[in-house]
Every structure is written in C-alpha cells, then in structure tokens.
Amino acid sequence: MKRKIEDPKDMEEPNKSSRYVTRATKTGTTIEVDRTTDTRNGNSNNNDNDDDGERALLQKVLELLGEYRAEFQGLKEALKEQKDIIYNQQETIRNLEEIAERQQTTIRELSQRVEDSRQQTGNALKQACEQLEAIAASPPATPPRSFADVTRSSPPPQPSHAQLPLSGNTNARYCTIDTSRVEEQDRDRAQLGAIRQAIEGEMRAKDGQAAWRCAAVVRDARNVERVKVICRDENELKQVKEAAQKTAAVGVRVMRDQLYPVKVDNANRTAVLDAEGNVLPGAAEALGAENNVNIAKISWLSNKESGKAYGSMVVYVTNGNDAMRLVDGHYFDLAGESACTNVFELHLKDYGVLAISEPYARNIDGKVVTSPAEHSNWTRMIPTHTRDAPWPIRSMLWVRSDIDAEQVPIPSADLTAAVLRLPERSILMVVLHGLIQRFRNGTGTRTDVVLAGDFNRHDLLWTGDEVAARRQGEAEPIIDLMNEHGLCSLLPRGTKTWQGPDKESTIDLVLVTSELAGEMVTCALHPTDHGSDHSAIQTMFDIAMPERTTMQRLLLKNAPWTLIGARVEDNLRPLPWAVDVQTQTDQLMRVVLEAIHELTPLAQPPPYAKRWWAKDLIRLRRAYTFWRNQARAQRQAGQARLDLEGRAKGAAKEYHDAIRSQKRAH
C-alpha cells in the first residue's frame, strides 16, 4: 500500500471543508434550536391566552357574586322591615284589644248608672206625685199676711259659720245655648219652645225615656241671646248637651261646660309652671287624675317673676260637686304634696262700690287720714261732717274710678252718701229718710236705693227669734223707714254679722228698694275672715255696669324694625320731594307713623298697670319687703333689733323716693 504523502496545501483544503461542514452543522443546529424555541414560544402564547380567559371568567363570576350579595342584602333589609311592620301591627292589635275591653267596661258601668238613674227618677216622680196629691187634698191656703208677718215667720236662722258657696250656684246644672249667630230665616228654630221641643224629641227617642221632659228652659237674665236648659243631675246634663248639639239649628252654639273655680294655696311652683312661667303641658290632666276631678284649666295667681318656690293658683273644675268637695276637704294633692283649698274670691276690680263701716281713720293736723289714703283706680268718699275725736268718721265709700259718682253731703260723721249714675238708672248709696224723698223726686230716671252699714239695732225681722225681750222694738225707726220707702232686707234672716268673745248678733244690714231686690244674685257673708268683729257682706246684683276701658299702646320692644324700614322706604319712593322742608318733614313723619302703627303689635296691659313702673322698682320693693318682714318678725318675738329697724326704714325711704322720682321722670 502506498501512502500518499499529502501536500500541506491539500491538507488545508479538507480543514476548510471541515470548517464549512462544521459551520453548516452549527447553522443547522441553530435553525433547529430556533425552531424549537419558536415552538415553545407558540405554546407559551397559547398558555397566556388561556390564563387571560380564566381571569376574565373569574372576574365575571366575582361580579355575579357581588350582585347576588347585594340582592341578598336588600332581601335581608326587606325581611327586617316586614318583621318590624308585623311587630307594630301586633302591638296595635293588642292596644285596640285593651281599648275595646275598657270601652266594654265603660259601657257596662254607664248601663248600670243609667239603670240606677232611671230607678231614682222613677222614685222621685212617684214622690212628687204623692206630694202633689197631698197638696191637692189639703185645705185652702190661709189669707195673705203682711210683709212683716211673713218675714217674722221665715225659716230659722242659718249658722254663723255657714260658708258662702262657690262662684255661681254649684247646685244649678244647666246647658247654655247661644243664639246670637242665628240668621233671620232660622229665628223660629231658635225660640224657647222650638229648642225645648227639639231637645225633648231627641231625648225621648232613647230607650226608656219616652215620657222625658225638660226641667225648665229659660233665657239668661244677662244675655237674652242665650238660653239655659236646666238639668236635674250630671248624667242628664251630658245627655241634654248631646241632644242640643244634634238638633241645633244653623248658627246655634252649645256653650262649653260650666266651670267652678277653686283657689289652691301653698302650691309647688315646679309642679305647675316651667322655667318661663307657663303652665306645664298636661298639668291639668295630671292634677285632675291625682285628685279624682276633671280640671279644665289652671291659672297661676302669684307673681311669676318672684323666686318663691310656692304660691297660689286657681283650678277650674267642670263638676260643681267635685269643686265643693275640694273646698270642704281643705286639701289638694299636688305631685305628692298637699296644698290648701279655699273659695276663689272675685277681685276687687270686679266690684263697683265698697262700703266700709268703722274704717281705720285718724285726725292728724285737722285732716282725716285713712289707710289707704288714696288709690289710682278707686275714688275715696268720707263723710262731709267729722267729729273731733280719735275716730273722726264711722263710715266711708270706695267707688270705682270709672263710674260716674257724686257725693251727697250729710251732716253726720256716721253716714256717707253717693249717687252712682249708671246707664238708664241711678243708685243712691247709704241714704236717710229725707234724702230718699228729695233724691227720688228730683230725677226722671229709675232710681234705686241701697242702705248698707252697721245699724246697731236688733229686731225679729232680721235677727231672728233670739232677740231679748228688753231689746225688742228698738228698731222701730228703721222699720218705719222700710215701710215708707218700700225697702226690704236682703241678708237672710238670722245671719250673724257680728261676733264677740261670748256672743254674736245681727246688726249689719243691706236694705234696698223692692225693684232692685228682684235683681239680686246673692247677698251673704263673705267667706274671707278679715280679722274684724264685723263680717264682710257680699251683695251682687244682675245689672249692667260700665266696663273698664284700657288704653292700648304699642309693644315697641317687639316691633319688626326691618319690615318697618322696608315699608317706609317703599312708601317714600313715590312721594314728591321738590317741596319745602316742612312738607317733606310732614310726609316723612306720616309715613313712619303709619308703618309703625300697622306693623307693631299692641300691648294688652292689665287694668291696674302703671305706665311709669320700672323693673328697678321691683328690686327695691322686694328689698324693702324683706327687711320689713325681718324687723317685724323680731319685734313680734319680743327681740326688737335696732339694726334691722334701721335697714327697713332705709329700704322703705329708698323705695318711695324711687317711686316719686320715676313718676316725675315719666
């Protein structure tokens, strides 16, 4: 074998070819790797697309779950609301069941009361029939007797401690019907007969009352437009009111319940009033339930600006028997405490004349000084003749300042006379024999006479059967005066007007003419004990008195100044201003005053309000009252203190000096 020796050049060529092959191989390998990488990339892209789809699907599922969750939450709220509604309905049903049960109980009680009232009415009618039959079977009446015989045989005297009934007659139950707003075409249905017939027809339609009749139907003595239907008891009063409301003609009004005032002293302020001085809401209902009465309204009588924790108030009760029970019981339950009850007295401003016997008067430097010496709302009248003694006068009159009154001179220190000139009549107060004739003959209008005072004479006519034999006949001059001028005594026979340490008698009289006696409402002892041995006598007549006229003024502190300014600006705009200064001033003043009077509210001051009064005087008055009471308490205890007396005198001087200064500055 021959070995061919290769040429180095030839050796290089294969190597070159080998490089080419190697390159080609590398290249092919590279291509294959690239293809493999592309394939892998393709698979990776497919996987990414699948992941995106899964994410979208999961997102959609989550959104659906959120929507379902919101729907479930709404359903849950709806179910909760339905549950609350069902619970409220169940509570309402329970309340209605309780109300129905109470109504059934009330119906049963009312039915029992109606049955009892029916039996009582039947028994009363039976007794009335028996009495009428007995009267019809009795012999004829005796011949008429004289006035003195009738009065001397009047009923026995009343006890001296008898108390005056409440305002109005508590035993009189009536339904008041007002016909002032009835049209002319309906006037026939507003007459007494028509009203009575309508009420009786409605009442007879009820079961068991086929023969029911009104006790009485009368017109009000003070107002002819009002009709009173008298009732026998409280139950009948309620039924009559219901019948009157059902049968009322157009314009007829059934007035509210009759109210009976009861004064309550030592009442806790916080249980009745709020911080602003107004009656607490629901106070009337709460106090009525606590005292088992029906209270229509409450009025606070004491000073609301005072810092005192207790005061006086008046409660208006709808039932007369309940009001009398409160007064007789002397106590009123008030938020767990006990207050005192008393008769609610009329204010002095409601009286026309105050006749005073044995007033407190002294003769100082030749001048009669009384206590009080004067009053802005009353006119003082003392006898024109005085005596030189420690007690210069024995009587006096206080006449309301708005009543036209003229004093009549009488040469006596014991008597005071005055002529009151009222619409369509004149009244002579405290008169004598000759003066009566002269006065009644000298006037052309109706003249009534009132003779009141301490006569200091006893007679069977007014004292009763307890007059001693030695004192009988001492009042013959008074009896002759009564017979000559047709006077009669108003005070019930036997009423004790004077009380001594161990005896009592009737020496104070009220004598009036027969015409005026027919208009008397009441004449009895005043329920208040004024500390005198003589009891005050309260006499009321059903006559027209002039009402107090109060001048209205602007409440400038509540004036709407913004609206007033706008009104003035609007009213000044169209006015001409090319005029002289005086005309411009007049225009400005007229516009301003018109705006103020139209937009500013009016104040409603009480009749006794003083225009010059200031709040600083209240502080001074309280300080003066405090130190005066302190000094008086120490003095009454027998331990007079000069420092307190000095403080009281200084406070009094400061208070009265401030009043005089305020009056001068007003």
Q: What is the 3-state secondary structure (H, E, C) of 10-55?
A: HHHHHHHHHHHHHHHHHHHHHHHHHHHHHHHHHHHHHHHHHHHHHH
Q: What is the pLDDT of residue 452?
A: 82
pLDDT band per the 50, 70, 90 thresholds, residue 318:
confident
End-to-end Cα spacing for the chain:
166
Query: Do 243 and 177 share a structural domain?
Result: yes
Hey, which of 146-150, 432-436, 593-597 has the most confident mean pLDDT? Answer: 593-597
Whether the predicted pLDDT of 599 surpasses 60: yes
Q: What is the pLDDT of residue 347?
A: 66
Query: Do 217 and 71 share a structural domain?
Result: no
Q: State the amino acid at position 115 in one-letter form.
A: E
Per-residue pLDDT of 100-115, as tens digits, reads: 888 888 888 888 888 8
How many angstroms separate the CA atoms of 485 and 517, rounded?
A: 13
The position carrying tokens 């909760």 is 80
Alpha-carbon Rg of the chain, whole angstroms? 49
Query: Do 491 and 527 share a structural domain?
Result: yes
CATH number for the domain harbouring residue 329: 3.30.70.330
Q: What is the pLDDT of residue 654?
A: 92
Question: Which position has the higher pLDDT, 209 or 298?
Answer: 298
Residue 174 · residue 258 · CB < 8 Å: yes
Q: What is the pLDDT of residue 163?
A: 39
- Report how far apart, in Å, the C-alpha atoms of 468 and of each of 39, 460, 464 are: 153, 10, 11
Domain boundary among 228, 254, 280: 254
Hey, which bits of 259-336 come out as E strands?
A: 260-268, 295-300, 310-317, 331-334
Domain boundary among 254, 270, 295: 254
How many angstroms separate the CA atoms of 644 and 155, rounded?
A: 57
pLDDT band per the 50, 70, 90 thresholds, residue 144:
very low
Asked if the structure places residue 15 within a domain, the reply is: no
Query: Do 475 and 378 share a structural domain?
Result: yes
**369: Cβ contacts below 8 Å, ≥ 6 apart:** 361, 362, 363
How many angstroms separate the CA atoms of 31 and 655, rounded?
A: 127
643 is written with which tokens? 């420092």
Task: For residues 20-32, give the mean pLDDT.
Answer: 46
Whether the predicted pLDDT of 549 surpasses 70: no
Sign of the Cα pseudo-torsion (12, 18, 21, 24, in order): negative
149 is written with which tokens? 């015989």
**Residue 611 per-residue DSSP state:** T
| Spacing of C-alpha 160 from chain mean position | 33
Per-residue pLDDT of 226-258, as tens digits, reads: 888 888 887 888 888 888 877 777 877 777 666
Residue 545 · residue 352 · CB < 8 Å: yes
* Total of domains in the chain: 6
Per-residue pLDDT of 35-79, as tens digits, reads: 544 545 555 555 666 777 788 888 888 888 888 888 888 888 888
Query: Do 511 and 431 share a structural domain?
Result: yes
pLDDT band per the 50, 70, 90 thresholds, residue 136:
low
Which residues constitute the domain of residue 654? 615-665
Q: What is the pLDDT of residue 651?
A: 92
Task: For residues 378-407, give the mean pLDDT.
Answer: 84
No. of helices (H) and no. of strands (E), the chain:
14, 26
Hey, which of 178-182, 251-255, 597-601, 609-613 has the most confident mean pLDDT? Answer: 597-601
Residue 320 · residue 170 · CB < 8 Å: yes
**466: Cβ contacts below 8 Å, ≥ 6 apart:** 157, 494
Asked if the structure places residue 148 within a domain, the reply is: no
Q: What is the pLDDT of residue 551?
A: 67
pLDDT band per the 50, 70, 90 thresholds, residue 3:
very low
Hey, which bits of 544-594 come out as E strands?
A: 553-554
pLDDT band per the 50, 70, 90 thresholds, residue 567:
very high
How many angstroms separate the CA atoms of 336 and 345, rounded?
A: 26
Task: For residues 647-661, give the mean pLDDT.
Answer: 91
Residues linked to residue 380 through DSSP beta bridges, in sequence order: 398
Residue 349 · residue 607 · CB < 8 Å: yes
- Comparing CA positions, the residue from 243, 240, 236, 241 lying closest to residue 121 is 236
Burial class (CB in 10 A: 0-12, 13-18, 19+), 419: middle
Q: What is the pLDDT of residue 524?
A: 87
Query: Do 297 and 179 share a structural domain?
Result: no
Asked if the structure places residue 17 within a domain, the reply is: no
Residue 404 · residue 526 · CB < 8 Å: no
Question: Which position has the higher pLDDT, 161 or 640?
Answer: 640
Q: What is the pLDDT of residue 593?
A: 92
Whether the predicted pLDDT of 574 surpasses 70: yes
Per-residue pLDDT of 324-356, as tens digits, reads: 888 888 888 888 888 888 877 766 666 788 888
How many angstroms separate the CA atoms of 455 and 223, rounded?
A: 36
Task: For residues 384-405, give the mean pLDDT.
Answer: 83
Whether the predicted pLDDT of 151 surpasses 50: no
Q: What is the pLDDT of residue 49?
A: 67
Q: How many CA atoms lie within 13 A of 621 on its CB side?
A: 8
Asked if the structure places residue 460 within a domain, the reply is: yes
**Residue 271 per-residue DSSP state:** G
Domain boundary among 309, 328, 344: 344
Query: Do 429 and 536 share a structural domain?
Result: yes
Question: Which position has the higher pLDDT, 490 or 666?
Answer: 490
Instruction: Report the percent of the chain where pLDDT is more than 70.
Output: 79
How many angstroms separate the CA atoms of 210 and 146, rounded?
A: 45
**643: Cβ contacts below 8 Å, ≥ 6 apart:** none
pLDDT band per the 50, 70, 90 thresholds, residue 563:
very high
Question: Which position has the higher pLDDT, 428 or 92?
Answer: 92
pLDDT band per the 50, 70, 90 thresholds, residue 309:
confident
Q: What is the pLDDT of residue 430?
A: 57
* pTM confidence score: 0.35
pLDDT band per the 50, 70, 90 thresholds, residue 222:
low
Asked if the structure places residue 547 within a domain, the reply is: no
CATH number for the domain harbouring residue 361: 3.60.10.10
250 is written with which tokens? 């157009």
- Report how far apart, in Å, the C-alpha atoms of 565 and of each of 14, 176, 405, 511, 582 are: 124, 49, 48, 63, 22
SS3 labels along 310-327: EEEEEEEECCHHHHHHHH
Residue 596 · residue 564 · CB < 8 Å: yes
Hey, which of 41-55, 207-221, 540-554 has the most confident mean pLDDT? Answer: 207-221
Residue 493 · residue 461 · CB < 8 Å: yes
The mean-pLDDT minimum among 129-133, 210-214, 274-278 falls in 129-133
Per-residue pLDDT of 113-126, as tens digits, reads: 888 888 888 777 77
Query: Do 468 and 365 share a structural domain?
Result: yes
Query: Do 340 and 356 share a structural domain?
Result: no
Q: Is the peptide bond before 372 cis (omega within 30 degrees of 0)?
A: yes
**663: Cβ contacts below 8 Å, ≥ 6 apart:** 612
Asked if the structure places residue 16 within a domain, the reply is: no
How many angstroms separate the CA atoms of 206 and 243, rounded?
A: 10
How many angstroms separate the CA atoms of 315 and 379, rounded?
A: 33
Please give the mean pLDDT across all residues of the chain: 77
Query: Do 121 and 39 share a structural domain?
Result: yes
Asked if the structure places residue 317 within a domain, the reply is: yes
How many angstroms separate the CA atoms of 525 and 491, rounded?
A: 9
Asked if the structure places residue 112 within a domain, the reply is: yes
Query: Do 203 and 104 share a structural domain?
Result: no
Question: Which position has the higher pLDDT, 546 or 137?
Answer: 546
Query: Do 270 and 316 share a structural domain?
Result: yes
Hey, which of 474-478, 528-532, 574-578 has the most confident mean pLDDT? Answer: 574-578
pLDDT band per the 50, 70, 90 thresholds, residue 592:
very high
Q: What is the pLDDT of residue 137?
A: 55
